[in-house]
Chains A and B, each alone.
Chain A
Amino acid sequence: MSIPDVKLKKISLLNFRGAKELLDLDLGSDCKNCAIFGYNAEGKSTITQALEWFFTNKIAFLSGEGITDEDIINLASSESDETSVDIVFNKPSLNSSKIFDKNKGRHTFSNNSIEFKDYIDNKAKYDRLYLNQHTILWFLAQPKGEKKEQIAKIVGYEEIIKVKSSISGALRELEHDSRLADLQGRVANNSGIMTRQIYGEAVNDIFGLLLKSSNLLKVFGIEKELKTLDEFDIALKEAIQRLPSQERAKERVILEDLKTKISVLEKKVDLLFAITKWITDFNALIQDKESVSKLNLDGLLRQAEIVLKSDLSRKTCPLCEQPIEDPEALLSHLIERYRKLIDTRKKLSALSYDLSKLQNSIQQNGREWDEALRLLKEKRITHATDKFQAYLRGLNESISIVNEHFKTLTNVSIDVVALEVALQEVSVAIKEIYPNLNSKLSGLSITEDEKKRQIAFSKLTRGKELVLDNIKYNKEISASKLLIANMRQIETQLLDLQNSTMRKILEALSTDVNNYFCLLNEKDRIKNVKLEVVGEEGIEFSLEFYGVEASPPRKFLSESQLNSLGIVFFLAAVKKFNKTNKFFILDDVLVSFDKNYRLRLLELIEKEFGDYQILLLTHEEYWYHMIKRKFPNWVFKEVAWSFENGIRFKDTKQDLLEDIVEQHKKGQKVGNELRTYVEGLLKEICIALEVKLPFRLGLENERRTIGELFPFLTNTLKDHQCDVVDSKQYKDLEVSNFIMTASSHHNPDLDSLGDTDETIKKIFEFRSIFVCKKHKLVSRNNVVPGKNQISCKCGCQNLNWKE
Chain B
Amino acid sequence: MSKDILKTGKEILDDYFKELAKNQDIDQDLRLALTDLWEQNKLYTRTHVVHVLDLLREKKSK
Contacts and interface: CB of A to CB of B under 8 A. Distances in A.
Given A160-B13, A166-B44, A483-B57, A508 B6 contact: yes
A138 B13 CA distance: 30
Contacts of A126: 8
Given A159-B8, A472-B61, 18 more contacts: A4-B2, A152-B9, A155-B7, A156-B8, A159-B13, A159-B44, A167-B43, A169-B50, A174-B50, A479-B56, A480-B57, A483-B53, A483-B57, A483-B60, A487-B30, A489-B26, A490-B26, A497-B16
A163 B43 contact: yes
10 contacts: A1-B1, A1-B11, A159-B10, A163-B38, A167-B34, A169-B49, A170-B50, A482-B60, A576-B4, A579-B8
A493 interface: yes
A155 B8 contact: yes
A163 B13 CA distance: 9
A173 interface: yes
A783 interface: no
A574 to B, nearest CB: 11
Contacts of A578: 5
Interface residues of A, number: 45
Interface in A219-276: none
A539 to B, nearest CB: 16
A373 B15 CA distance: 91
Interface string A303-345: 0000000000000000000000000000000000000000000
B56 A577 contact: no
Contacts of B56: 479, 483
B30 A1 contact: no
Q: Is the interface of B mostly helix, strand, loop or mixed?
A: helix
Interface string A1-32: 11110000000000000000000000000000
Given A160-B9, A170-B49, A476-B61, A494 B25 contact: no
B55 to A, nearest CB: 11
Interface in B32-62: 34, 38, 43-46, 49-50, 53, 56-57, 60-62
Interface of A: 1-4, 126, 152, 155-160, 162-163, 165-167, 169-170, 173-174, 472, 475-476, 478-480, 482-483, 486-487, 489-490, 493-494, 497, 501, 504-505, 508, 575-579
A157 B9 contact: yes
Contact of B9 (A1, A158, A490): A158
Contact of A576 (B6, B46, B49): B6
Which secondary structure dominates where chain A touches chain B?
helix
A430 to B, nearest CB: 63
Contacts of A165: 46
B21 interface: no
Contacts of B26: 486, 489-490
Nearest to B11: A1
B5 A577 contact: yes
Contacts of A156: 8-10
Contact of A155 (B9, B38, B43): B9
Contact of B61 (A162, A479, A501, A576): A479
Chain B interface residue bracket vs A = 20 to 34
A797 to B, nearest CB: 35
A471 B27 CA distance: 21
Contacts of A167: 34, 43, 46, 49
Interface of B: 1-2, 4-13, 16, 20, 25-27, 30, 34, 38, 43-46, 49-50, 53, 56-57, 60-62
B18 to A, nearest CB: 13
Q: Which 7 residue pairs spanning A and B have beta carbons closest together?
A: A479-B60, A170-B49, A159-B9, A169-B46, A156-B9, A476-B61, A166-B46
A578 B61 CA distance: 49
Contact of A163 (B6, B44, B53): B44
Contacts of B10: 156, 159
A505 B6 contact: yes
Contacts of B43: 162-163, 166-167
A675 B6 CA distance: 49
B50 A173 contact: yes
Given A1-B7, A173-B50, A166 B45 contact: yes
Question: Which of B20, B38, B43 has its CB near the most chain A CB atoms (within 10 A)?
Answer: B43
Given A1-B1, A476-B57, A501-B12, A155 B6 contact: yes
Contacts of B1: 1-3
A169 B49 CA distance: 9
Contacts of A170: 46, 49-50, 53
Nearest to A500: B12
B27 A486 contact: yes
A173 B47 CA distance: 11
A80 B27 CA distance: 63
B51 to A, nearest CB: 9
Contacts of A174: 50, 53
B35 to A, nearest CB: 11
A43 B47 CA distance: 47
A443 B15 CA distance: 84
B15 to A, nearest CB: 9
Contacts of A4: 2, 5
B53 A166 contact: no
B28 to A, nearest CB: 10
| Residue from the set B9, B20, B25 with the largest chain A CB neighbour count within 10 Å | B9
B16 to A, nearest CB: 6
A497 B5 contact: no
A505 B6 CA distance: 8
Contact of B44 (A162, A472, A490, A505): A162
Given A163-B44, A487-B53, A579 B5 contact: yes
B20 A490 contact: yes
A719 B7 CA distance: 55
B54 to A, nearest CB: 9
